[in-house]
Amino acid sequence: MEQAQEVPFYTEEDFGKTELLPSYRVDLRNPQNEELDAFINANVVADWSQLTWKQIGKPYEVRTVAKSKQEWERDHGEMTVKTSWEFFNRSFHEWFVKDVPGALADSKKELRKHLARFHWHEVKEALGETVRLSFWNYVHRVQDGVWDPRGKRALFEGLDLNKPRILFLGAAEGYEAMQLHAMYPEGEIVMVDYDDFCRTDRFGHFPDRYPFLGMNSRTGLPRVWHKNQMNIHYEVDDIRNLPFGKEFDVVLSVGLLEHFPDEFKAEALDWHRKFLKPGGYAIMTTPRLQWKSKLFYTVMADVMNHTYRELMDIRQMGLYVYEGGFEILRHGYIKAHNGIVARPR
Ligand SMILES: C[S@@+](CC[C@H](N)C(=O)[O-])C[C@H]1O[C@@H](n2cnc3c(N)ncnc32)[C@H](O)[C@@H]1O
């Protein structure tokens, strides 16, 4: 029987390294967070109270719908929001665990085989898969635009936090809370998602050896953290049922706000205030309105588009947050996302 190879975890000796693994990039460059240059502090708005929707227009709505959702709805009627998330999470997760170079080689082989036999329907399918894989390889694996640890570190840097309790709303695999916890260690993360698959698979199978760059609170020096060294509780519950009071130093969401049409945005924003201690931070990101994102949600429609989704620019995101009753402390964008750090007004 073949022995599984022991793969070592990363340590401080690996600082400065970046490497491409089959499913994701490892990036241990700039452990001191110097020259991250990845959070563009937009500062486009000096006074949010002066900005109007008339000046900036409303977000762009992504309208392409995943085939699996269309087929399901043909038989069962309109999908509930929760079922849509269950479809999305299963489909998106598959992409995070792919051996991308291996899958690309297989799909190109399939393509050549069907081309040689003039099987046009299969050629079209194989071509679609090859394009999706090439795109995913570039966006997630090479560019690291989905997790974007450098951008997220730049967004989270310099906050006044000591052993924070972090609440992650709609946590999915929990990536950003782990990055934040690595930078401000020894507190606690509570991840919340109502899809149990997120706890068992998306978070459960998040790679144990993925290195998060953070800090050693004893020495104040940079250190590498891994998922299993963190104090994490995963609650499978609807955010609307949470029993917590105002007890968290940070309430975080990543890709949540843009899934609510305007009539529900105030409620979604209220979730970010409801559980915050006085002086705590609400941190949110949403995907950026840019041609690359439009292309991403078109090419990856069958993987991603099960739920209502908007793409917005930082001014639009900020105006929602401001109108939701927050003071905006920091606003800007990273590779594929807008980012805001705010406090209730
Ligand atoms: C778009 S995902 C967050 C993006 C995430 N970074 C990812 O990679 O998928 C939003 C998550 O919020 C969860 N969610 C949405 N509404 C929720 C609610 N009312 N209560 C709990 N979880 C919710 C969904 O199940 C989903 O996993």
Q: Residues 131, 197: one domain?
A: no
Whether pTM exceeds 0.85: yes
Cα 152 to chain centroid, rounded: 10
> How many CB atoms neighbour CB 171 within 10 A?
28
Is residue 244 one of the residues assigned to a domain? yes
Q: Residues 120, 259: one domain?
A: no
Is residue 224 one of the residues assigned to a domain? yes
**CATH code where residue 279 lies:** 3.40.50.150
Q: Residues 152, 127: one domain?
A: no
Protein residue with its CA nearest to atom 13 in ligand 1: 170
**Backbone torsion region of residue 144, taken as left when φ is above 0, otherwise alpha when ψ lies between -120 and 50, otherwise beta:** left
Mean pLDDT score across all residues of the chain:
93
Ligand 1: which atom is nearest the Cα of residue 193?
Answer: 22
Q: Which of 42-46, 74-78, 140-144 has the lowest mean pLDDT?
A: 42-46
Q: Residues 203, 291: one domain?
A: yes
Distances (CA, A) of 118 to 130, 192, 260: 18, 49, 45
State the angle between helix axes of 67-76 and 81-96 in degrees (0 to 180), rounded to the nearest 10. Answer: 150
Is residue 209 one of the residues assigned to a domain? yes
Ligand 1 site, residue 72, Cβ cutoff 6 A: no
- pLDDT of 37 reads 60
DSSP, residue by residue, 157-184: TT---SS-EEEEET-TT-HHHHHHHHHS
Q: Residues 168, 314: one domain?
A: yes
Is residue 280 one of the residues assigned to a domain? yes
Helix intervals (H) in 117-233: 120-136, 149-156, 175-183, 196-197
Domain boundary among 84, 109, 142: 142
Ligand 1 site, residue 195, Cβ cutoff 6 A: yes
Domain boundary among 112, 142, 172: 142
297 phi and psi angles, rounded to 5 deg: -75, -10
Burial of 243 per CB tally in 10 Å (0-12, 13-18, 19+)? exposed
Q: Residues 116, 188: one domain?
A: no
Ligand 1 site, residue 177, Cβ cutoff 6 A: no
Q: Which of 7-16, 98-107, 248-257 has the lowest mean pLDDT?
A: 7-16
Q: Residues 129, 174: one domain?
A: no
* Mean of pLDDT values over 40-57: 89
Q: Residues 241, 122: one domain?
A: no
Q: Note down the domain range covering 128.
A: 99-142
Structure tokens that stand for 14 in this block: 């690996």
Ligand 1: which atom is nearest the Cα of residue 175?
Answer: 6
Residue type at 159? L
CB 306 within 8 A of CB 250: no
Q: Residues 132, 179: one domain?
A: no
Domain boundary among 142, 174, 208: 142
CB 312 within 8 A of CB 60: yes
Ligand 1 centroid to Cα of residue 170, in Å, is: 4
Q: Residues 47, 189: one domain?
A: yes
Protein residue with its CA nearest to atom 5 in ligand 1: 172
* Mean of pLDDT values over 33-44: 71
Q: Residues 229, 305: one domain?
A: yes
Ligand 1 centroid to Cα of residue 231, in Å, is: 21
Ligand 1 site, residue 252, Cβ cutoff 6 A: no
* Mean of pLDDT values over 314-334: 96
Is residue 106 one of the residues assigned to a domain? yes
Q: Residues 132, 178: one domain?
A: no
Residue pLDDT, tens place only, 70-98: 999 999 999 999 999 999 999 999 999 99
CB 152 within 8 A of CB 176: yes
Is residue 310 one of the residues assigned to a domain? yes
- CA separation for the pair 345, 327 (Å, rounded): 5
Is residue 27 one of the residues assigned to a domain? no
Is residue 159 one of the residues assigned to a domain? yes
- pLDDT of 112 reads 87
Number of separate domains in the chain? 2
- CA separation for the pair 134, 197 (Å, rounded): 27
Distances (CA, A) of 63 to 302, 305, 342: 12, 8, 30
